[in-house]
Structure 1
Amino acid sequence: MKELIEVLVERKQKNASPLPYHGWVGPCTQVSLLYDGFRLGDASNYDSVKSFAQLMWPDGHPRFCKSMHTMATQIEELNKLIWLMIIDSYGLGEKWESVMINYKMLVQFMKYMAPPPGVYERGLFAHTDKPVSTIICDDQVLGLEVEVKDGQWIKLSLSPSSFCFVVGDPLRAWSNGRLKAVNHRIMMSGDNGRYSIAAFVIPIEGTIIKAPKELIDEQHPQLYKDFDFMEFFLFAFSDPAKHIDSGEQLHAFASLSPPISN
């Protein structure tokens, strides 16, 4: 991580993508002056990791490739296990293949720089995640905060070697509102910087997000229309959506009013 963040800016800029926030994002007012981050698509594919490393380092950094590919593969297995637990909890274990969302793993590497001593400053704005779900691993430096029901913010203190699983807006729609996409942010103090890795579940192109019919009945009418994931993702970063609170973007894009039942 430290080696990656320290590469020359002209190499960082090669981590580019036409999709919003899929490439390198340096310190800026749109995100944060404390933020520096990269994204690596299809991270459990060794060729993708190798191509990324060749952009960042002249020698392709074989050690980085091996470590990154191993980590991404293990996180993908962890994510699948969590998904199977969710599916089974709704009594759909025998149908998991038909209700599971096909996806690729997008890994984000982030550094949040420390503000001046005594200053408490935003490292990343408050938002709900637009990928289906996220697994976060950090370096034990506090900073991740979540908003609770009464509007208060609490700082998460993760135990060593633990991960944080974050429900995204599409997973909320898939569960027909049973799972909540939590509003979260990064707040930094002047003590030290923070490194973090986030693994995002990005559905394959053309994936339609829809609640399984078993999760829709008279007591739980369908809350959201079926929608193309990428259409929602692009909407969330469009100019019209900038005027909508992040936690309300799913409602604005896909809400059924009134909800319907089978």
Structure 2
Amino acid sequence: MSCLSQWPEPIVRVQCLSESGIKTIPQRYVKQVLDKACFVAAADDGVNIPLIDFKDLDSSDGSIRDRVLESISEACREWGFFQVVGHDVDHGLMAGMQAAWREFFRLLVEDKQEYANSPATYEGYGSRLGVEKGAKLDWSDYFFLHFLPNSLMDPCKWPHLPVSCRELIAKYCEDVANLGEKLTRILLVNLGLKEDRIHEAFGGYEERGVCLRVNFYPKCPQPDLALGLSSHSDPGGLTFLLADPNVAGLQVFHHHKWITVKPLPNAFIINMGDQIQVMSNGIYKSVEHRVMVNSEKERLSMALFYNPGGDVVVKPLEEAISKDKPAMYSPMTFNQYRAFIRTKGLHGKSQVDSLIKSK
């Protein structure tokens, strides 16, 4: 059975729809009335997510380092999102990845179809989440791949065009994964816990998961009626997003309104996933976010997910539990957890909320 035939209905590539010259989007991409109402409340009043310079973490001045740690802690608790500059990932590598993936999405559709994905693993070239027949769809195509653990990584499933792509993917995923490990240690220091505790809880070097989703948002003739990605919180641990600094699209739900994030060049937008919320016993929270589309410009972004291993049982860390603050969430393996989004698609924070123990 081909990958395309495993979906509940024929797959339509959004890029093909966009480039066909249609003036009206199909009903499958028109969001519910409730979703449309949210657009009216999307004014951001010039607010942006916190900006943190990681180079100050290496300062010999302890007070400067402490201020950075406090800024990270505050951003995690108050926003669940922040933007990072001064990291160790090479800017040329970041630009190379962006250029290579833009080239991939410019390939002929038959060349991209060679990598068509299925709902079994989602690896490859895709255009939808969830397998519910007749579900509303998002205005985006994507490419999803695994990097860690080694048992899941299969470079043969990575694009062979452009020719530089596979080498770039390997180096980029390795470097951003190192940044992910560094941040998990910082998060625990801010909680006064052993700094490698999340690293251990993710399964350590042998089991931790790293995967990459490259999102492509084509021009949309009716952007007020569609979403590039519906409102959701990320199911994993940490997300490192490399966004297009010239085309805004990401919106974060903060203090009862949608804030449009303004990406900086060579910066990562980092957010907490549901597993960090569970492990920290609700101290750090994942936050709903969504992606808008544009009638004038296409947009590309790359989200690297730093996750627990699939068979790792995720639950509140013992150190985050006390008599005054008992465990809030029921345990579940990460594979069991992410099966929800792979089956049902994106539905706000309904999955993590379903784990909250009744009093």
The answer for the alignment partner of 1:145 in structure 2 is: 251
Q: Which residue of 173, 177, 180 maps to 2:282?
A: 177
Larger-Rg structure: 2
The answer for the alignment partner of 1:92 in structure 2 is: 193
The answer for the alignment partner of 1:202 in structure 2 is: 307
In 2, distance between residues paired with 1:9 and 1:208? Answer: 40
Report the CA distance shift for 1:7/1:30 in structure 2 as closer, same or farther (over 3 A): farther
The answer for the alignment partner of 2:340 in structure 1 is: 235
1:123-162 matches, within 5 Å, as: 123-140=228-245, 141-150=247-256, 152-162=257-267
How far has the Cα of 1:165 moved from its partner?
1.1
How far has the Cα of 1:93 moved from its partner?
2.8
Q: Which residue of 217, 221, 236 maps to 2:322?
A: 217
In 1, distance between residues paired with 2:259 and 2:178? Answer: 29
How far has the Cα of 1:221 moved from its partner?
1.5
The answer for the alignment partner of 1:188 in structure 2 is: 293
How far has the Cα of 1:51 moved from its partner?
1.3
Report the CA distance shift for 1:97/1:170 in structure 2 as closer, same or farther (over 3 A): closer
Assess if the C-alpha contact under 8 Å between 1:35 and 1:113 holds in 2.
yes
1:44-63 matches, within 5 Å, as: 48=153, 50-53=155-158, 56-57=159-160, 61-63=162-164
How far has the Cα of 1:145 moved from its partner?
0.2
Report the CA distance shift for 1:202/1:18 in structure 2 as closer, same or farther (over 3 A): farther
Assess if the C-alpha contact under 8 Å between 2:277 and 2:286 holds in 1.
yes
Structure 2's unaligned 5+ residue stretches are 1-100, 130-134
Question: Which consecutive aligned stretches of 4+ in structure 1 deviate over 6 angstroms post-superposition?
Answer: none
Larger deviation: 195-204 or 17-26? 17-26
Assess if the C-alpha contact under 8 Å between 1:44 and 1:76 holds in 2.
no
Name the amino acid aligned to 1:195: L
Percent identity for Structure 1 against Structure 2:
23
Assess if the C-alpha contact under 8 Å between 2:155 and 2:166 holds in 1.
yes
**Helix, strand or coil at the partner of 1:256:** coil
Q: Which has the higher strand share?
A: 1
**Helix, strand or coil at the partner of 2:349:** helix
Aligned residues: 247
**Helix, strand or coil at the partner of 1:157:** coil
In 2, distance between residues paired with 1:94 and 1:82? Answer: 10
Q: Which residue of 109, 114, 128 maps to 1:9?
A: 109
Name the amino acid aligned to 1:67: L
Assess if the C-alpha contact under 8 Å between 2:117 and 2:126 holds in 1.
no
- With CA pairs under 8 Å and 6+ residues apart, which has the higher RCO, 1 or 2? 2
Q: Which residue of 112, 137, 143 maps to 1:31?
A: 137
Q: Residues 61-107 of structure 1: CA distance to partner in whole angstroms, max 9, x if unpaired?
A: 54112222111111101111111101111122355377441312100
